[in-house]
Amino acid sequence: MNCQQIKDELMLLVGSDQLPDEIQKHLDTCDDCRKFWSELVSLAESMGTDDEFRLDRATIEAAVSNIDRRIDLRELDRVVEVGASWKAWVPAAAAMFLLVGISLIVYMVGGFGDRNGQADLSPKDSTWVIFVNGELDALDENAVAYILHQSASYEMLAEDLTDEELEYLENNFDVEDIL
């Protein structure tokens, strides 16, 4: 191999611990390639490791529950899709949601657990409690999607949503996109 070929190989070896014999032998006798390699070693040392991207435990746990909840939602979708033609009432559900909002959630917290005898596939309680307390920030798109899927079956309680809450929902969630 000539120097250029050696350098081409060396670039591929960045991040490896061991050099093949043939290349090591060349480095032993060629100042230019040896210098090139030592630059690459410096480079590799400065690139850090994945360990520098550690999330703390709490963040990981939050992610674990979020993933868990989102999987719940998806499995719920499947249940609903099999059980009923929910798509037909989704547009109505969207409209309902914006009107009904908080009140609906209060109602749901009260008991959609065993609706129609289905298993309780509700998101984690904390989401609902936070929402009931009016901290809408804590509600993510998936929870909204979940509510949309639920809402058409509850024809009630249209008064309690304030203008502010309405505005918040419209600004922060793309209802059409969720659908």
Partner 1 sequence: MVKIDNDRINNLLAQARQGDRQAFSEIVRIMMNPVVALTYKMTQEKDSALDLAQDTFISAWENLDSFKGESRFYSWIYRIAANKSLNYLKREGRKVGDRSLTEQVASENPARELEQKELKGRILSFMSQLPPQQRLVFELRFYKQLSFEEVAGHTDKALGTVKTLYREAVKKLREVALAEGWAQ
Which residues of this protein are in contact with partner 1, per CB under 8 A?
Answer: 8, 11-12, 14-15, 35, 38-40, 42-44, 46-55, 59-60, 63-64, 66-68, 70-71, 74
In the list Zn ion, partner 1, none, the entry touching 3 (Cβ below 5 to 8 angstroms by class) is Zn ion
In the list partner 1, Zn ion, none, the entry touching 46 (Cβ below 5 to 8 angstroms by class) is partner 1
HSE-up of 132 (CA within 13 Å, CB side)? 12
Between residues 70 and 99, which has the closer beta carbon with respect to partner 1? 70
CB of 41 to Zn ion, least distance (A): 16
Q: Which amino acid is residue 152, in one-letter code?
A: A
Q: Which amino acid is residue 53, in one-letter code?
A: F
HSE-up of 174 (CA within 13 Å, CB side)? 3
- Contacts of residues 6-11 at CB distance under 8 Å and 24 or more positions apart, as own/partner, are 6/30, 6/33, 7/33, 7/36, 10/36, 10/37, 10/40, 11/40
CB of 26 to partner 1, least distance (A): 18
CB of 99 to partner 1, least distance (A): 30
CB of 69 to Zn ion, least distance (A): 58
Between residues 66 and 153, which has the closer beta carbon with respect to partner 1? 66
In the list Zn ion, partner 1, none, the entry touching 138 (Cβ below 5 to 8 angstroms by class) is none
CA distance 162 to 115: 28
Between residues 41 and 158, which has the closer beta carbon with respect to partner 1? 41
Going by C-beta distance under 8 Å and a sequence separation of 6 or more, which residues neighbour residue 140? Answer: 66
CB of 136 to partner 1, least distance (A): 18
- Output the DSSP codes for 91-129: HHHHHHHHHHHHHHHHHHHHH-TTGGG----PPPHHHHH
In the list Zn ion, partner 1, none, the entry touching 103 (Cβ below 5 to 8 angstroms by class) is none
In the list Zn ion, partner 1, none, the entry touching 47 (Cβ below 5 to 8 angstroms by class) is partner 1
- The residue with tokens 């989102």 is 70
